Amino acid sequence: MGTVTCDRRSFLLDGRRRLLISGEVHYARSLPEEWPGLLDRCRACGLDAVASYVFWNFHEPERGVYDFSGRRDLGCFLQLCAERGLKVILRLGPYCCAEWNYGGFPSYLRDEPGIEIRTWNAPYIERAERYLRRLAEVVRPWLYSNGGPVILVQIENEYNNVAARYGEAGKRYLAWMAQLPRALDLTVPVLMCEGAAPGAIAALNGFSLDDRRIAEFRAAHPGLPLSWTECWTGWYNTWGYRHHYRSARNLGFHLLRFLGHGGSFWNYYMWHGGTNFGRNSMYLGTTAYSFDAPLDEGGEPTAKAFYLAGLHEILHRWEPVLLAGEPRVEVDTAECRRVVWSGEAGRLELELELKKQRGALRGNGHEIWVSDHECECAAPCWCDGGGGRDWEFAREPRPAERRDAVFSTEVCEQLTLTRDRSDYCWYAAEAEVTTPGPQLLTLEAAADLVYVYWDGELLGSTPLPLAENRGPTGEGAMTVGGGSSLERTEGQYGVQFAFSAAAGRHRLEIWCVSLGRCKGDWMISGPMNTECKGLWRPVRLNGRALGPWRQYPGLCGPGAWSRSPAAGPQWLRTTIPVAPDVLAAAIDFRLAATGLGKGFLRWNGFELGRHWLLPGHGYGADESWQDAALDGLTLGPDGEPTQAYYRIPPTLVAAENRLEIFEEQQADPRRIRLEFRVGKTSAEPAAKQGDE
Ligand code: GAL
């Protein structure tokens, strides 16, 4: 059966050197019926392999309940890859990151007594091994060594980001992880990106790999191929911030530079971003995970895909020259680098203008140029597919109407109540005002977005936008900037509301809404299992702690439907008809969610994801990403909603469609439109000749 080996120059399959051009496609971010088309397009763009994370919480949604069927049918995805001659790099987790809810961890991990995540901790190791053992059964038949497409497995992810926190215990954990695939009889080489333990193949991630990083890598791993496991094609988007884009020519320049360093394996992260359906997004991550990837959210090729497909075609033609020996650096100044490959198969010359970020690769009668020109193709044209026929509205019951209260003296943290099965939790208490006039309500810790109701009226909500990295939520998490203003100290959780009230007893209801779990320690400056949602420190009126509390986790669902809109949290539903000719011609659909506030969308019973029409300003993440402008990162228009459109996979669209919306704020549903796209995007890239 097949063998996968590597040396300093490249990976070798069955002893044959390979240039390995891979693209990340998360099968969890599209539907199984879309996988064949997506993978065809990967192949057509000259990819040799696809990479995907396997998200633990996608496959073990409840403790001990495994699911590898339907949307979770990993075996089916691997078979489709095999049928197309695509190799697979499977990123097994158990920790993934990827802007996926809780970085891929199942939420119930936080309930395991004594657990510490991503370190040498018995309860964690036991759960992780149990899951990986089950996963290994699914993956084993698809390994290259067993005749399948999976040539490499990755274990853990970017441990360097957290290594300092876990010290010696972390090292022991990582070493154990590195040997685990082998122990589970996964007989292909093991990759570990940005933090490898002995026995695994180290690899690098980034927008670009600069000379210093490459030199360090070469010095540390003289016998390993230079592997770029995540070459970022764009960046993800977070609610309240502007869109991220990455220029294709900049990407092209950095790829050529990487080749000049002798790189022979890279993986575009993402090649297809797809959609965070349902509640799969991390905290603050938008529902669309487009990532400005070469295949757009609906899987159609963009200008970037055509550009890279051209590059791949020529690189594959030159593969024997590129891989015959080490590239030789002939000129290396601050301005210019010239690198030459020469051997029996021919001669290639790479010339890079380092400051101008331009370059050319020439030889054997061909040339590839990275110039100042950006590649462009016309933006897809979306057509109006109509709106809802009749709208109906139903209130979501308020605490006073609910019978499912959880009582406590002090506030009870939200995830303990919801187990992350819902974004929502109400907190209700009585508030006694002794001195009429100005009042100050202090929520010492509140996440993520809270709405405060006073005697049934909305008093206010969390100041926006929310920061992506907010500091620790565990014990000692503080809180509010002093004074009586409505300020919130950046990066923390305190919120204050100044208002006026009459003397007497009042009804205080605080509605807490989660925006997804953190993806890694750095978002909360603490271990992931210490993340909190809802309220977890005292709520004070003029300094006095309030209580006892009644908590209402989750939503009740629509009560009685009516024709008149309700105020505040409510359900909306309608039918949207789609004409037969549109159904036949459309290749993709989306909802223009104009008129909506925030909530989630359900289309024919399928959870499309969260919606939020919040306008985007600024970079998001931390502003240090501004440096990424050097790596060709640009921003979308200021002030437009971070996500205005919500994708609907075509296979979910029928002649009559039921759209159901949960809306937290307010909605003018007359403005919601279904839009569709027809036809193929100009010519599909030429299919690569099969080399199997
Ligand atoms: C990397 C991480 C990926 C993804 C990416 C950025 O650091 O390994 O999983 O999160 O960043 O989007």
Span from the CA of 384 to the centroid of ligand 1 (angstroms):
35
- 508, 398 in Cβ contact below 8 A? no
In eight-state DSSP terms, residue 241 is S
Span from the CA of 96 to the centroid of ligand 1 (angstroms):
8
Check whether 411 has a pLDDT greater than 80.
Answer: yes
- CA–CA gap between residue 271 and residue 593 (Å, rounded): 26
pLDDT on residue 489: 46
pLDDT on residue 251: 94
pLDDT band at 375 (very low <50, low <70, confident <90, very high): confident
The Cα-based distances of 653 to 167, 279, 647, 662, 675 in angstroms read: 51, 21, 11, 20, 12
Nearest CA to ligand 1 atom 6: 98
| CB of 205 shorter than 6 A to ligand 1 | yes
Residues assigned a catalytic role: 158, 230
Q: What is the pLDDT of residues 315-331, one digit of tens each?
A: 999 999 999 989 999 99
Q: Give which of 262, 183, 185, 277 is closest to 226, Cα–Cα.
A: 262
Q: What pTM does this model have? A: 0.95
DSSP alpha helices (H): ranges in 60-206?
74-83, 122-139, 163-183
* Residue position matching structure tokens 């001659």: 85
Nearest-atom number in ligand 1 for the CA of 97 is: 9
Phi-psi label, residue 7: left if phi above 0, alpha if psi -120 to 50, beta otherwise? beta
pLDDT on residue 623: 59
Which of 89, 97, 236 to mutate to test ligand 1, by most ligand atoms within 8 A of the CB atom? 97
Mean pLDDT for the chain?
93
| Sheet of 328-332, strands arranged across | 328-332, 336-343, 346-353, 358-363, 366-370
pLDDT band at 671 (very low <50, low <70, confident <90, very high): very high
- What is the amino acid identity at position 543? G
Q: How far is CA 331 from the centre of its chain?
A: 40
pLDDT band at 482 (very low <50, low <70, confident <90, very high): very low
Encode burial over 53-92: b for 16+ CB neighbours within 10 A, e otherwise. Answer: bbbbbbbbeeeeebebeeebbbebbbbbbbebebbbbbbb
Q: What is the pLDDT of residues 21-40, one digit of tens each?
A: 999 999 999 999 999 999 99
Q: What is the pLDDT of residues 573-588, one digit of tens each?
A: 999 999 999 999 999 9
pLDDT on residue 418: 98
pLDDT band at 628 (very low <50, low <70, confident <90, very high): low
Which range has the worst mean pLDDT, 160-169, 274-283, 471-480, 621-630?
621-630
In eight-state DSSP terms, residue 341 is E
pLDDT on residue 12: 98
* Average pLDDT estimate for 447-467: 95
Cα atoms in the 13 Å half-sphere on the side-chain side of 311:
24
| CB of 236 shorter than 6 A to ligand 1 | yes
- 2, 150 in Cβ contact below 8 A? no
| CB of 158 shorter than 6 A to ligand 1 | yes
pLDDT on residue 646: 98
* Greatest pairwise CA separation for the chain in angstroms: 92
pLDDT band at 9 (very low <50, low <70, confident <90, very high): very high
Span from the CA of 215 to the centroid of ligand 1 (angstroms):
23
| CB of 157 shorter than 6 A to ligand 1 | yes
Give me the DSSP letters along 59-75: H-SBTTB---SGGG-HH
| CB of 98 shorter than 6 A to ligand 1 | yes
| CB of 628 shorter than 6 A to ligand 1 | no
Helices (H) and strands (E) in the chain, counts: 12, 39
Span from the CA of 538 to the centroid of ligand 1 (angstroms):
35
Measured at the alpha carbon of residue 353, what is the angle toward residues 347 and 359, in degrees to the nearest 5? 50
Percent of the chain scoring above 70 in pLDDT: 94
Nearest CA to ligand 1 atom 10: 98
The Cα-based distances of 582 to 8, 439, 617, 659 in angstroms read: 53, 57, 36, 18
Span from the CA of 163 to the centroid of ligand 1 (angstroms):
16
Which of 25, 158, 284 to mutate to test ligand 1, by most ligand atoms within 8 A of the CB atom? 158
Check whether 638 has a pLDDT greater than 70.
Answer: yes
* Average pLDDT estimate for 40-48: 98
Check whether 483 has a pLDDT greater than 70.
Answer: no
pLDDT band at 365 (very low <50, low <70, confident <90, very high): confident
Three-class DSSP labels, 517-543: CCCCHHHHCCCHHHCCCEECCCEEECC
| CB of 97 shorter than 6 A to ligand 1 | yes
Check whether 689 has a pLDDT greater than 60.
Answer: no
Nearest-atom number in ligand 1 for the CA of 99 is: 10
pLDDT on residue 475: 61
- CA–CA gap between residue 257 and residue 253 (Å, rounded): 6
Q: What is the pLDDT of residues 499-519, one digit of tens each?
A: 999 999 999 999 999 999 999
Q: Which two three-digit tokens encode residue 113?
A: 């007594």
pLDDT on residue 353: 96
Q: What is the pLDDT of residues 79-117, one digit of tens each?
A: 999 999 999 999 999 999 999 999 999 999 999 999 999
- 74, 48 in Cβ contact below 8 A? no
Span from the CA of 652 to the centroid of ligand 1 (angstroms):
30
Q: Which two three-digit tokens encode residue 207?
A: 């927008």
Q: What is the pLDDT of residues 238-256, one digit of tens each?
A: 999 999 999 999 999 999 9
* Residue position matching structure tokens 């696809």: 50
Q: Is 102 exposed, middle or buried (0-12, 13-18, 19+ CB in 10 A)?
A: buried
Three-class DSSP labels, 492-524: CCCEEEEEEECCEEEEEEEEEECCCCCCCHHHH
pLDDT on residue 538: 94
* Average pLDDT estimate for 373-397: 90
- 447, 488 in Cβ contact below 8 A? no
Cα-Cα-Cα-Cα dihedral sign, residues 494, 499, 500, 505: negative
pLDDT on residue 627: 62
pLDDT band at 430 (very low <50, low <70, confident <90, very high): very high
